[in-house]
Amino acid sequence: MRHCPVFFDFTESALLVDFGAGHDKALSLEILDLSERLMQAGLLGLTECIPALSSLTVLYDPLQLPRERLAEEIELLNRSGQAVEDRGQSWEIPVVYGGERGPDLKEVAAHAGLSEGQAAELHASPLYRVYMLGFLPGFAYLGDLPEPLRMPRRKTPRPRIPAGSVAIAADMTAVYPLESPGGWHAIGSAPLTLWDMAREDEPLLKPGDRVRFVPISEAEAEALRAKAAAGWRPEPVKEA
């Protein structure tokens, strides 16, 4: 049975479809499926759907699409939804753990009762899911972080976290696509470009995608940084 949504008005032209406080893979797939089918419904006045952890924000023109009509269509599509399979792409993201680019790995490892190497290995062990994009352009919230590594955000955010930093907070991990202030714990660095504002590309990671982190050496990272500076971006992993 699908989750039952509750509707809230953000503005006159934005409807929040809320599915509750929790989040997991099954709910994420339902939200992505609802978003896709709603955009394919051909509703005049429907502008955009923005998936989040446990909600879907729907942008629309109320002069063309009455709010009541939109809500009815969403409820109908949600009730008629079937079991959903993974549809996104799979990616392998290389990471240098620790050192100057991962200054919080020591603290995270101590919190988990592990060595830095063990903490890095544990972080790289799951196949993560992109639940949503937010905070920064191309900033993908990846779950679910292994339980021993889960920590609240830093009490004092850093004024500068470099682009490419791999960081964790609560049950999520992420790669900073741009340099930014941030309160997540930085444990490593990925030598690739997730978002290039100059090229106006789409973000590398999208909701529904899957990500596996691959530990590499600093020498390997330097070679990849040079390739990334020349425009290289990784290709999706072909699954058997």
Kindly indicate the confidence band of residue 1, based on its pLDDT and cuts at 50, 70 and 90: low
Q: What is the mean pLDDT of residues 190-194?
A: 89
pLDDT at 229 (0 to 100): 84
Q: What does the pLDDT look like over 111-130, one tens digit per residue? A: 999 999 999 999 999 999 99
Strand partners, 166: 175, 188
One domain, residues 73 and 120: no
Report the mean per-residue pLDDT for the chain. Answer: 91
Orientation of helix 25-39 relative to helix 67-79, angle to 10°: 130
Q: What is the CATH number of the domain that holds 34?
A: 3.30.1360.40
190 within some domain: yes
Describe the strand order of the beta sheet including 6-11 as a list of residue ranges.
6-11, 14-18, 55-60, 46-51
With beta carbons less than 8 A apart as the criterion, state whether 182 and 158 touch: yes
CA atoms within 13 Å, Cβ hemisphere of 44: 2
d(CA 99, CA 187): 8
One domain, residues 119 and 47: no
d(CA 214, CA 205): 16
Burial per residue of 174-204, b for 16 or more beta-carbon CB atoms within 10 angstroms, e otherwise: bbbbbebebebbbbbbbbbbbbbeeeeeebb
Q: Which helix (H) or strand (E) holds 9?
A: strand 6-11
Kindly indicate the confidence band of residue 45, based on its pLDDT and cuts at 50, 70 and 90: very high
pLDDT at 198 (0 to 100): 61
With beta carbons less than 8 A apart as the criterion, state whether 200 and 127 touch: no
pLDDT surpasses 70 at 151: yes
Q: What does the pLDDT look like over 54-96, one tens digit per residue? A: 999 999 999 999 999 999 999 999 988 776 777 789 999 999 9
Q: What pTM value is reported for the model?
A: 0.88
With H, G, I as helix, E, B as strand and everything else as coil, classify residue 101. helix
One domain, residues 146 and 197: yes
One domain, residues 22 and 66: yes
One domain, residues 155 and 62: no
One domain, residues 99 and 69: no
One domain, residues 19 and 114: no
Kindly indicate the confidence band of residue 146, based on its pLDDT and cuts at 50, 70 and 90: very high
Phi, then psi, of 47 in degrees rounded to 5:
-105, -50
110 within some domain: yes
d(CA 65, CA 44): 6
Query: Measured at the alpha carbon of residue 9, what is the angle toward residues 12 and 21, in degrees to the nearest 5?
Result: 155
Number of structural domains, the chain? 2
162 within some domain: yes
Kindly indicate the confidence band of residue 233, based on its pLDDT and cuts at 50, 70 and 90: confident
Final residue in a domain of this structure, among 79, 102, 129 = 79
d(CA 93, CA 91): 6
Q: What does the pLDDT look like over 154-187, one tens digit per residue? A: 999 999 999 999 999 999 999 999 999 999 999 9
239 within some domain: no
Q: What is the mean pLDDT of residues 12-16?
A: 95
Neighbours of 51 (CB within 10 A): 24
Final residue in a domain of this structure, among 32, 48, 79 = 79
One domain, residues 165 and 205: yes
pLDDT surpasses 80 at 21: no
Query: What percentage of the chain carries pLDDT values higher than 70?
Result: 95
One domain, residues 109 and 171: yes
Domain assignment of residue 61, given as a range: 6-79
pLDDT surpasses 70 at 201: no
